[in-house]
Amino acid sequence: MNAVAVQERLQVQRVNVEIMGERYTIRGDADPGYIAEVGRFVDERMRELKDASSGLSRARLAVLTAINIADELLQERMADRGDSEATEQVLQRTRQLISLLDEGLIGDTEF
């Protein structure tokens, strides 16, 4: 194993989380506190869905939770894109106004 592979392997964290009463070991290079928070978030979301929908199997509950979390993520991404488009429009308009000011077409040409 080369030095880079050894170093990468040493950076991988193992964090135990409990989701719906089951213990899972999650491996990743993120901060252990962050990994634990992700586990708590998933546990909380699964419990909320379980309380709202009776009789779901554990597998179905996990899939529906994943779908709900993915839906939230995609909605956030779409909202961010919308904000980016609005920001880009403002930037374009600002550039146009700056260009008009530079050309002396609007505003006072004497400083």
C-alpha closest to that of 27 among 19, 18, 17, 40:
17
Residue-wise pLDDT for 86-98, tens only, equals: 667 777 777 776 6
What residues have CB less than 8 Å from 39, skipping those under 6 apart?
15, 17, 18, 19, 24, 26
Entry pTM = 0.64
Residue-wise pLDDT for 22-31, tens only, equals: 999 999 999 9
